[in-house]
Structure 1
């Protein structure tokens, strides 16, 4: 247990700027290419499925936030309720027990949140961190977490090597509009139904995480069975202006890519990705990116390799089954 002169309390919505400052300080050492504005961190703090009062903890040195943890639960859960434990420690305060205190508090908070919302399900506490962050593996292993999944961030430089858009016969591309907005969420939930660890997104979660200030409707598309027919697949693009301001690189991040089970193996995702890549290039973006579950049974990694994405970094999903 850390016994230094720190002040400990739950996070609040008023900590948005302090949270952005901490995450940006961590970025200078961890080098993940993730830069935050206060608007970005506020979006996480107002997540409807993050209980800050009961399930967060922040460490302050004076007015400076130097470490935090927060729990995110899922509104629906079946056999297993996968709770996310997120957090970080300022580089200047690492190796001093702060991280251990936060992880221990996080596991305790996860149990309390789980008991409150899904007591009939089994609990798994998940930590998702880039493999390159020093000390993470040692810390979470010491608390009983084990690696259960691997993910890759893949990137496309949006040069001349853009894949051709080949739309499967009988399908039509359709951009986002206020009229079809509900179809985007419905198609995401249908497509992700058998993805590992996924759960249906509620409308308020979708609005908080997807259609917020980072959403790029002009680069978000459905592939539909004819005009007015059922959607076969979906792609949604986000962009973080904090990254643009600090790096000068405009990145079109394909946050949601999914194909309904009955439409798989027809080239739906390939067509959506190719169309979005060409759209991003035309809009002046420098790069496109996505996060890929390396263990997915639906050919995720191969799909992006064929579209000429390259691996940038790997993430590990650690889990503690309670």
Structure 2
């Protein structure tokens, strides 16, 4: 897999980003362009769902998911978004350049966007994507973070061929591949296993343990490719589909504080929490519910959004126990399947874990990027 060469010192981010002084003009389609605002949420929802239906994507969105995007304080819609309207005022195309405030290992921008199916083939998408890439370079240059950098986009494996050609033409290379998996929860399916924990305690998700779960997540994903620490604002944002009643946590009721503090792998935030006597979450499964997707897929399901185990607690079955507990909660609420996504090169052996629990692949997606 292509990667950035780290054998020599990196040039300053301003040089590597090679940001243009001005952004390219979009002339294709004869559209009128302006930044997105919160008032555009209904039209943006309609366009995004129209695109998803045309491209046979396995999901749909609801208005709350769109409006909550505008609530994140780190998003700059005035400079990092565009909407293209036709002469009648109908929304035809959109673009968003997303950057994350918590990046400490790789500074990233992610590009989202699309064109109404009825207006494809006019060059709108190609010009709009060029604008996004140029704006992404400007955002990276302005970050001031002299770190490895990435401009990324995502695509379904069976998405439009024209979109794949556009990415290739713009110099994007596939870097990571993801599989969506599902596990049958119906009465006719194999029963969920009982997983016993030694010295650890399985508890339901609670708001009181939310911050402790964030610290566990940042520790668990330190060695995952492309993952970056989540700030408290990032962690609690974007929870329209969050199903706390399905969340499961594993805590250590009597952690060896001295040993953990002496461990060089213990991060500073966790060390502070240990010294303060706060609860130690060591594994977690946080799940989501998207009723609007049931008809698209033809079945009801719960979705495991994030699953992880602290590095010092791997091998103690915390994550499998939390995952199964979440699936039991889904099953109790009548869900027919449990679903999740996995990086096919996950370093913790998660793919084998899911296979052992009866998960099978339904479809795939990929991340493409320019590495700087």
Does TM, scored on the shorter chain, surpass 0.5? yes
Cα separation, partners in 2 of 1:54 and 1:240, compared to 1, 3 Å: same
Equivalent residue, structure 2, for 1:314: 364
User: Are residues 1:237 and 2:296 paired?
Assistant: no
Equivalent residue, structure 2, for 1:271: 321
User: Are residues 1:144 and 2:194 paired?
Assistant: no
Find the aligned partners of 1:162 and 1:125 in 2 and give their Cα distance: 43
Equivalent residue, structure 2, for 1:55: 80
Equivalent residue, structure 1, for 2:40: 15
Find the aligned partners of 1:89 and 1:300 in 2 and give their Cα distance: 36
Cα separation, partners in 2 of 1:50 and 1:320, compared to 1, 3 Å: same
Q: Which has the higher strand share?
A: 1
Cα separation, partners in 2 of 1:82 and 1:24, compared to 1, 3 Å: same
Q: Is the 8 A contact 1:162 1:274 kept in 2?
A: no
User: Are residues 1:109 and 2:159 paired?
Assistant: no
Q: Is the 8 A contact 2:342 2:350 kept in 1?
A: yes
User: Are residues 1:66 and 2:116 paired?
Assistant: no
Deviation at 1:179, TM superposition (A): 1.9
Deviation at 1:246, TM superposition (A): 6.2
Matches of residues 113-132 of structure 1 in structure 2 within 5 Å? 113-132=139-158
Find the aligned partners of 1:248 and 1:137 in 2 and give their Cα distance: 27
Deviation at 1:263, TM superposition (A): 1.2
SS of aligned partner of 1:179: helix
Residues 206-234 of structure 1 deviation map (CA, whole Å, 9 limit, x = unaligned): 1212xx23111111111112378522211
Find the aligned partners of 2:288 and 2:234 in 1 and give their Cα distance: 15
Q: Is the 8 A contact 1:70 1:86 kept in 2?
A: yes
Q: Is the 8 A contact 2:282 2:318 kept in 1?
A: yes
Deviation at 1:264, TM superposition (A): 1.2
Deviation at 1:79, TM superposition (A): 4.5
Q: Is the 8 A contact 1:73 1:82 kept in 2?
A: yes
Deviation at 1:203, TM superposition (A): 1.2
Deviates more, 1:245-254 or 1:218-227: 245-254
TM-score, normalising length: structure 2: 0.81
Deviation at 1:2, TM superposition (A): 4.7
SS of aligned partner of 2:28: coil
Find the aligned partners of 1:63 and 1:162 in 2 and give their Cα distance: 54
Equivalent residue, structure 1, for 2:229: 200
Q: What is the Cα-based RMSD across aligned positions, in Å?
A: 1.9
Q: Which one of 245, 248, 252 corresponds to residue 225 of structure 1?
A: 252
Q: Is the 8 A contact 2:55 2:159 kept in 1?
A: yes
Equivalent residue, structure 2, for 1:302: 352
User: Are residues 1:77 and 2:103 paired?
Assistant: yes
Equivalent residue, structure 2, for 1:33: 58
Equivalent residue, structure 2, for 1:182: 211
SS of aligned partner of 1:4: helix
SS of aligned partner of 2:208: coil
Aligned length: 320
Find the aligned partners of 1:248 and 1:254 in 2 and give their Cα distance: 18
Find the aligned partners of 1:162 and 1:26 in 2 and give their Cα distance: 38
Cα separation, partners in 2 of 1:233 and 1:141, compared to 1, 3 Å: same
Structure 1: segments with no counterpart, 5+ residues: none
SS of aligned partner of 2:338: strand
SS of aligned partner of 1:148: strand
Q: Is the 8 A contact 2:248 2:323 kept in 1?
A: no
Higher CA-based Rg: 2
Deviates more, 1:110-119 or 1:178-187: 110-119
Find the aligned partners of 1:28 and 1:237 in 2 and give their Cα distance: 24
Deviation at 1:50, TM superposition (A): 2.3
